[in-house]
Structure 1
Amino acid sequence: MIQRSLREWETIAYGEDAASIPEAHAARLIEVAGRSPFAGRGGEGVLEYRRKHLRARGVVGVIASPGCQLEILPKIEAIGEANATDEALRRRLVHMLAVARDIRIDARNSANLGWQRDTLLEILIRLFCRKMIEAVRQGIPRRYIAHEDDLPALRGRLDVTRQFSTLAAQPQTLACRYDELSPNIALNQIMKATISRIACLATAADNQRSLRELSFAYSDIAAVPPAALRWDLIILDRTNQRWHELLSLARLLLGERYQTTSVGSTDGQALLFEMSTLFEAYVARLLQRALAGTAFRVTTQGGHRDCLYEDGTGRFRTRPDILIRDANGIAMVVDTKWKRITPRIDDPKQGVSQADVYQLMAYSRIYECDRVMLLYPHHHELSADPLCRSYDIVSPNGADRLIVSTVDVSASHSSVAGALASLVSRSLSPRNAAVI
């Protein structure tokens, strides 16, 4: 199995050595990546196929074809860190996913996940297997399922209507309605589908062994195709709350962001994440934690106000990333951008897109709030302290402000949450200076 890793927006040349990839395998990976929902119209939204190399874009994860796996890692650099190791990037990416998906990774699980030797896919499979085995040891959940059957003896309640119509000529048979405690429920069917899917992908010996054990434990559960799984029937209560994290992992490995291709001459799988979407979810979840119990409330992908109206009908509906509300309404709109902001000495605008500025100015008007923020990830080329720069909108002494800020996502979750809470507090306080 050929395994290669590269960073988003970087290239890998064709070749046979350990630092390159055979062109035949590259072509198969391109075919798999081209069927991803992230591929776009041109088919190169994940990988660009060039004459001498492959180039990754802003989508990370693992693309697998027979005999080859390509891992794409995000550039998540700590302050003062010029070149992070693959191990460090995997850790940071998995922990961002854990925050966004409400998955707990304690010190015991984190220590032996294989950060250095395995790809992101193997690490996520290993995390799922460990949590799954621990949950199964406490018992597979069961629920009472309603059944209707024609039996020689009464069980449960008699279906009077069916008994005296359909079975009127068969007095030896009784139309019964009864409830039966069964493990064959939607939750277990989702778990079995996840086990079956990742069993085809795991290459690490310990993961394969764990999946065989889990497959045996779920042998009596009906096999349901992933597209037919009934996520809407899942009921989590105090009796099965421990399965919440496993459901999040199952969605991660089996849900909308998981693609399997088996069309044409290439079979392959892709576990991919759009970093802009992940960064937004990560920031939103930590903001919700940080501002819990305060006067502020955080909502995501809300608003839904229209930019234009035609004969009273709204056109061009908006959907800001994050809205921060207080008792008076919307206090701030936050738009997250997974882009590398430039040092001020290189560009006075610091690489902030004019289109992004126009978008935030429109949000300020549409949502009637005087504070809007562009939030970027911090990186090693900037100063040691995260950026927080305030600009007056429209006029030099106007009341409305646009704040351009960065946050160090390589720090601990508690540190990032504290930094975000402080950033919101300072941004919503009365203006003291242009630079905060």
Structure 2
Amino acid sequence: MEREDQFRLLGLCSLMPAYTVREWDKLVYGVGESQIPDSHASRLAALAERSPFAGRGGGGVLEHGRHALRARGVVGILSTGDLSLEILPKIDVAPGETVDQQNATVRKHLVHMLAVALDLKLDLGAITDLAWQRETLLEILIRIFCAKLTEALRKGMPRRYINRDEDLPVLRGQLDITRQFVRHAADPSRLACRFDLLSNDTPLNRIMKAAVVRLARISRRPTNQQHLRELAFVYAEITEEPVSALRWDQVVIDRTNRSWQDLYSMARLFLQNRYQTTTSGSGEGTTMMFEMNSLFEEFVGRSLVRALAGTGLSVSLQGGRLFCLSAQDNGRALFQTKPDILIRQGSTVTHVIDTKWKRISARIDDPKQGVSQADVYQMMAYAQLYNAPRMTLLYPHHPGLGHEAAVHARYRITGHATTLETASVDISNNLGILAKLRALVIEGSDC
């Protein structure tokens, strides 16, 4: 008997089958503990194939094998109909904890990385340990969004003046002479008025309403559903628009609504296709996925901006953009480079850092540490183009590399006065990561 049939017999059909797997791990087909029915795996795999990340992130989102469903290099949530799959990053946690406790710890680290990467200020302390264990990443993000939106609305919904054109019996604002003569030449009892109206029905509030409507459709936690119903009531008089019609370009965040910046960023996270896609029909479902390579790069880059503030060093993310080659016949530049992180002293590039979301080994186990030859060639190209004295391949730390994150090896690039080093940083150390990154760049020593 499949798990969904067991739920029906138990009268628990309101509970959505929810599975959790770590990045690159497998869920074996079956109905036992830590297994997934083949029918569920097929539905989730079909949804993953329609994700914006299908074919990317190490071969797509999921590998639909003969005996198991395997996660790839993309993390997040896939939800279709009455079931969901949560993919968590492969982050090492303290031994001796239960699986639920380990997953809770990983969720905390992932949400922290998202907060840094998206420049969000999130109060994670308000979420109980039990919630971290029992709720998926999506439900936790929905909970945070509802709490922040409720708090912001207590201070008042943001308003702004919008231009209105109306035909009124008395003059309001200015008379639109052209429209007056075109429409009301024969009926002067109506005046073509043009005026500014202070209104709640703004592009920002329409985006907030769209987020509330979207989340109400996909949330399965009763508490979140209740909060979203309450928020929908508050936004009842705001125009409801499809996501494709939202005017993101008309939203202005200034001193009058600065406190809504985080909510605006979270709404983008939930609504825009950079992370999420929603399909309809028989394959209805929602995905909110993150490529760990990109997330790790953004997390480290933004952390470095904070770590090096006040040092006189500047940080550029995806900067440089110099070309490797130029055509002999017409001089056309070819093969543009985009180093993950450039550190500058004034206008001079002093350090190039490329982040790699993969596990390297200790030098005692492998003199090359499992570093990709392609990555080394890439850094050699950067050394040639940017003339920086230091190049760093930066990886996530894991216990196999020792107790402390460090610069693990240094090499001299042949023919250059440039040092290439491999280093790692402990992303599970939320409090100490800024100091470690600062030491890596400034001291050039163990980080």
TM norm. shorter chain > 0.5: yes
Match of 1:317 in 2: 336
Q: 1:422 to 1:285 in 2, by over 3 A?
A: same
Give the corresponding residue for 2:111.
94
- 2:37 aligns with 22
Q: Deviations over 1:331-373 (max 9, x none)?
A: 1111100000112222110010010011011011112222111
Counterpart of 1:95, as a letter, is H
Task: Could you tell me which runs of 5 or more consecutive residues in structure 2 were left unpaired when the two chains were aligned.
Answer: 1-15
Give the structure-2-normalised TM-score.
Answer: 0.91
Q: 1:51 aligns with which of 42, 61, 66?
A: 66
Aligned-pair distance for 1:80?
A: 7.7
- Cα gap change, 1:228 to 1:315, in 2 (>3 Å): same
Match of 1:383 in 2: 402
Deviations along 1:227-254, one digit per CA (max 9) or x if unpaired, are 2211111111222111111111111111
Question: Does the 8 Å CA contact 1:33/1:63 hold for their aligned counterparts?
Answer: yes
Matching residue within 272, 287, 290 for 1:270: 287
Give the superposition deviation at 1:105.
Answer: 2.5
2:412 to 392, 398, 407: 392
Q: Distance in 1 between matches of 2:361 and 2:95?
A: 15
Q: How many corresponding residue pairs?
A: 426
Which residue of 278, 281, 285 corresponds with 1:260?
278
Give the CA deviation at 1:162: 2.6
Q: Is the 8 A contact 2:77 2:287 kept in 1?
A: yes
Shift of 1:79: 7.9
Is the alpha carbon distance of 1:343 and 1:108 closer, same or farther for their aligned partners in structure 2, counting shifts above 3 Å? closer
2-structure distance, mates of 1:225, 1:119: 26
Q: Deviations over 1:268-302 (max 9, x none)?
A: 11111111111011101110001111111011111
Deviations 1:45-93 (A, max 9, x none): 0000011110000100111111211111001125889987111111110
Residue 351 of structure 1 is aligned with which of 370, 374, 395? 370
Could you tell me how far apart the structure 2 residues matched to 1:94 and 1:301 are? 23
Contact kept in structure 2, 1:78 and 1:408, CA below 8 Å: no
2:365 and 2:237 map into 1 onto residues whose CA distance is: 63
Distance in 1, matches of 2:381 and 2:130, equals 45
Q: What is the alpha-carbon distance in structure 1 between the residues aligned to residue 433 and residue 386 of structure 2?
A: 27
Please give the root-mean-square deviation of Cα atoms over the aligned residues, in Å.
2.1
Q: Which has the higher contact order (CA 8 A, sep 6+)?
A: 1
Q: Label 1:42 to 1:131 Cα distance change in 2 as closer, same or farther (>3 A).
A: closer
| Residue 18 (structure 1) shift | 2.8
Q: Of 409, 413, 416, which aligns to 2:427?
A: 409
For the 8 Å contact 2:57–2:72, the answer to whether it is kept is no
**Amino acid of the structure 2 residue aligned with 1:183:** N
Among the aligned pairs, what percent are the same residue?
A: 50
Please identify, of 223-232 and 22-31, the stretch whose mean Cα deviation from structure 2 is larger: 223-232
Contact 1:79–1:379, Cα closer than 8 Å, also in 2:
no
Counterpart position of 2:169: 152
Structure 1 counterpart of 2:85: 70
Task: Provide the secondary structure at the position in 1 that maps to 2:432.
Answer: helix
2:154: which partner in 1? 137
**Larger helix proportion of the pair:** 2
Change (3 A) 1:111 1:43: closer
1:389-436 Cα offsets, whole Å, 9 max, x none, are: 2211115xx521111110000002x41011001000123x9xxxxx99
Instruction: List per-residue Cα deviations over 1:212-231 (Å, max 9, x = no partner).
Output: 00000001111111122111
Offset of residue 42 of structure 1? 12
Distance (whole Å) between structure 2 residues aligned to residue 241 and residue 80 of structure 1: 42
Q: Which of 209, 214, 226 is the equivalent residue of 1:209?
A: 226
Relative distance call for 1:92 and 1:193 in structure 2 (3 A) is same
Q: Which runs of 5+ in 1 are unaligned?
A: 430-434
Superposed, which structure 2 residues align to 1:265-344 within 5 Å?
265-310=282-327, 311-344=330-363
Specify the code of the residue in structure 1 equivalent to 2:420.
L
Q: Contact (CA 8 Å) 1:374, 1:404: kept in 2 or not?
A: yes
Given residue 113 of structure 2, which amino acid in structure 1 is its aligned partner? M
- Classify the secondary structure of the residue corresponding to 1:269: strand
Partner residue, 2:140:
123
Q: Which amino acid aligns with 1:57?
A: R
TM-score, normalization: structure 1? Answer: 0.93
